[in-house]
């Protein structure tokens, strides 16, 4: 008969998962998460199930606590904005959290299968890297709330330019395991902890990118428009007027609005609006990036696209169409139209842009041309995709630009979670980033990911500042996730071989 883990063990792991998610929001959360994770391994050892199914439940309980707290803000978009029934909205959040928890519980199964050895922590870390990679690709991927993003405020952030966020995850899991093992193998585990943290900190001395040209003057516009008003005709007109006036208020080398700042199909925008903005660009030598709804001819007819439209002095219009779309919000998986109909959101099935799209060029008299890689909304969650785009770009990328609208999620931790993701992307690529958002966090990030200037959340205004563009490529941009995935596969094979011999 199946022996399930004790209820107190499941409850403890659920609570520990929630604590880990909450710690990510603290200034030194990445440091504090590691010893708390060691308590998770201790709890799993204390209540280790007599069956693989029981062990799976332990991991699932831990993952549920982590993701329910970390992703609760999706309820706001479903219920408060989308008008979905509270029970259905809550169930949707729970099911998403459960789906994400399945990845965590799969990695935790290794604890049940292991034979104690000095390879145990390394193989567990390898399992975690593989499932986190799968979480970024299965069903188009949703790698939000990984341990890597909290490492921007943790000990392993300097590893990101070398091997990316997955390598940070590897070290978090391994070192937390060695902390758990300190009582049994104090010398070995203590040496691993001290050496790994020391080497990681020393890695921060290496710099792979360098400044290019004079700093750009920039203006990032934050409209702070409620999502509930996004499809209200009068509110849309007010939004058009605000953003148009804000753009034309002052010259800058680069002016950026948030995602869908003009929430209307491009061909149906007010007559003369784009012409007026183009004239402003030409007359003031300003480059302008607009968030709007594009239109694309596809095999199945006309489709909308989540677009960034670039206006430059005496140059053709530039456009970037979002490539990595949000399931249910921007494209409808087969068989789920009923769900979107219940959500009551128009324009929720967008055309997908190409993965490889040219960067936006910023040309100034007597200066080198600066090239900016554009991402829209949660595209900056996918570090491997961004690294690939930079690596394969026909032009050298000098700057990252993210245009986003998180008004869907109200006054929650979603904006700060995405800010950490953007900071991690800057670390991985060694490039500064500009974040233009509707409700926040609108910010200028340095090549080290640190915030150089920002606007207060949930206020209407413009952030006027400067940003220094950079040139060069980090090892992560050059290699992507191949090194850490290869190492993880090798360690898993070694662990499997050792298990077979015992």
258, 438 contact by CB (below 8 A): yes
Annotated catalytic residue 168: no
Catalytic residue among 377, 385, 428, 473: 377
Report the alpha-carbon distance of residue 490 to residue 118 in Å, rounded. 15
Rounded Cα distance between 448 and 445, Å, is 8
Q: From the candidates 259, 379, 385, 428, which is the catalytic residue? A: 259
Tokens describing residue 203:
């890695």
Q: Is 259 a catalytic residue?
A: yes
CA distance 387 to 297: 29
From 108, 178, 322, 428, active-site residue: 322
Place of tokens 């209307």: 264
The yes-or-no answer on residue 354 being catalytic is: no
Give phi and psi for 321, each to the nearest 5.
-105, 130
Two structure tokens written together for 64:
């549920």
Q: String of b and e for 260-296 (b: at least 16 CB within 10 Å)?
A: bbbbbbbeebeeebbeebbebbeebebbbbbbbbbeb
CB 309 within 8 A of CB 294: yes
Closest CA to 127 of 43, 209, 202, 41: 41
- Return the bridge partners of 222, or none: 461
Residue 61 CA to residue 79 CA, distance in Å, equals: 25
- Beta strand 461-467 with 216-222 is antiparallel
CB-CB neighbours of 362 under 10 Å:
24
Q: Which residues are catalytic?
A: 259, 322, 377
């Amino acid at each position: 008969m199946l022996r399930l883990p004790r209820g107190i063990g499941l409850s403890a792991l659920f609570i520990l998962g929630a604590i880990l998610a909450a710690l990510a929001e603290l200034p030194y959360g990445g440091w504090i998460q590691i010893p708390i994770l060691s308590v998770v391994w201790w709890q799993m050892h204390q209540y280790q199930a007599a069956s693989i199914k029981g062990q799976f439940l332990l991991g699932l309980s831990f993952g549920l606590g982590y993701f329910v707290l970390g992703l609760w803000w999706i309820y706001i978009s479903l219920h408060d904005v989308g008008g979905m029934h509270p029970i259905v909205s809550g169930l949707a959040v729970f099911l998403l959290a459960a789906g994400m928890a399945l990845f965590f519980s799969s990695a935790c199964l290794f604890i049940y299968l292991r034979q104690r050895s000095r390879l145990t922590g390394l193989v567990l870390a390898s399992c975690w890297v593989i499932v986190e990679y799968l979480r970024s690709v299965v069903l188009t991927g949703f790698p939000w709330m990984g341990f890597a993003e909290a490492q921007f405020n943790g000990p392993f952030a300097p590893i990101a330019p070398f091997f990316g966020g997955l390598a940070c995850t590897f070290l978090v899991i391994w070192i937390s395991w060695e902390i758990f093992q300190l009582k049994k193998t104090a010398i070995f585990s203590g040496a691993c902890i001290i050496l790994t943290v020391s080497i990681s900190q020393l890695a921060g001395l290496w710099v792979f990118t360098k400044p290019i040209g004079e700093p750009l003057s920039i203006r990032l516009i934050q409209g702070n428009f409620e999502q509930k008003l996004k499809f209200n005709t009068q509110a849309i007109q007010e939004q058009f007027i605000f953003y148009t006036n804000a753009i034309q208020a002052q010259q800058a080398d680069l002016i950026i609005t948030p995602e869908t700042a003009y929430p209307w199909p491009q061909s149906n925008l007010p007559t003369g609006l784009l012409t007026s903005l183009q004239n402003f660009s030409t007359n003031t030598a300003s480059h302008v990036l607009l968030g709007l709804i594009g239109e694309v001819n596809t095999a199945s007819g006309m489709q909308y696209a989540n677009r960034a439209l670039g206006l430059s002095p005496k140059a053709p219009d530039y456009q970037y169409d979002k490539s990595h779309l949000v399931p249910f919000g921007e494209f409808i998986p087969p068989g789920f139209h009923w769900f979107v109909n219940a959500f009551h959101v128009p324009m929720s099935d967008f055309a997908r842009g190409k993965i490889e799209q040219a960067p936006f060029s910023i040309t100034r008299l007597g200066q080198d041309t600066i090239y900016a890689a554009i991402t829209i909304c949660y595209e900056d969650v996918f570090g491997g995709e961004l690294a690939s785009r930079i690596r394969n770009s026909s032009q050298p990328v000098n700057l990252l630009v993210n245009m986003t609208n998180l008004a869907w999620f109200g006054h929650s931790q979603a904006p700060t979670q995405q800010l950490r993701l953007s900071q991690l992307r800057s670390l991985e690529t060694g490039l500064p980033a500009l974040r233009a958002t509707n409700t926040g966090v609108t910010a200028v990030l340095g090549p080290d990911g640190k915030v150089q200037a920002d606007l207060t959340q949930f206020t209407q205004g413009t952030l006027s500042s400067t940003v220094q563009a950079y040139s060069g490529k980090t090892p992560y941009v050059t290699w992507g996730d191949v090194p850490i995935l290869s190492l993880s596969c090798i360690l898993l094979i070694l662990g499997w071989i050792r298990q077979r011999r015992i």
